[in-house]
Amino acid sequence: MKIKSSKSWVFAALLLTILLCAAASYVNRPLPAYIDQPSEQEEISEVELPWELSIYEGENYSFQYPSEWTKTVKNGNLSFFNSDGSYLMFQQSDYQPQINLVTADSIQNEIAAADMQPLSYERLSNCSFLFSYQNNGVTTWEYVCWDRKLECRITLSYPTGASEGAYQALMIEVLSSFQWERQAPVPENLYLSYNTFGNFEFAVPIGWTTSISNGSFCAANTETGSSYCVTVSKTEMTTLQEISQIQYIQNISKTRSNLYIKSFGASSSQITAESIYSLQGEQMLFYHFISLEDGYLYELMLDTPLSKGEEDYQLFKECVKYFRVVKSNK
């Protein structure tokens, strides 16, 4: 049986990426935070597959695969092999926060270092990407997605030039059918970042402009004027509970005029505080989260106009929820 499919915008984007492979050229371009969804779905040409497809159902995932391909376990990974040497492989492993640092440049460098030819790379969402490469007459596509607990990888490898269109269509079918029950998903309006110094991850609102300033990570909403900063430093402090509200106000008032505290709470390992201050005649809200762990002091800060920053304020509180120090035994 031949399966015909007509895909929507997501898979039109995938097909566009796949066609870059046929051109056998790698375009090094900036990493988009995500692909914008068009207002109207785009249709792509119908594609025929020479294989019947079945659905494989794992413990928390499922996807389609060619029924006549031989199922086996290769190096502990579920695999399906074709008679021409091509194969489809599924891998699931523990989440590593460094996955959030992958870019087009890092993928290109890693593949080139292995004496292979990079072909393409696309960041598909806040927690997934797709890339391809060639080596010794074999073309390989790898799709990677993750939550804060697990990583999933789907690999399709086949002889270069052999039924190229069929294998491209197969990759689209596999990805369009792929379902995974995420246990620790990341909200679609945030993406995660990871910092090696201090070994921690934190969330950033999608669409905010980012920069590094004086060693701090900063993000800004240019529409509202809100700014969000993340800092980390080594410290000899062993507790935050000894910092009084008066001491806190004295310190923060050095950089924010006419400040008064709305709320303040301190424990041995955390401080959360909300303040109001004036900036060029405008009332501003300052939300401050401080965490002390393993000899490092972490700070997440939001400055937002009181008159129009409510959504940014709620978004920042979501970012605080996704802050965590990565344990070394993970």
At 157, which amino acid appears?
Answer: S
Give me the percent of the chain exceeding a pLDDT of 70.
85
- Mean pLDDT, residues 149-174 taken together: 91
Instruction: List domains and CATH numbers for the chain.
Output: 3-180 (3.40.1000.10), 190-325 (3.40.1000.10)
Q: What is the pLDDT of residues 5-23, one digit of tens each?
A: 334 445 445 544 444 443 3
Query: Tens digits of per-residue pLDDT, 85-129?
Result: 999 999 999 999 999 999 999 999 999 999 999 999 999 999 999
pTM for the predicted model, two decimal places: 0.84
Across the chain, mean pLDDT equals 87
At 162-177, the pLDDT tens digits run 688 899 899 999 999 9
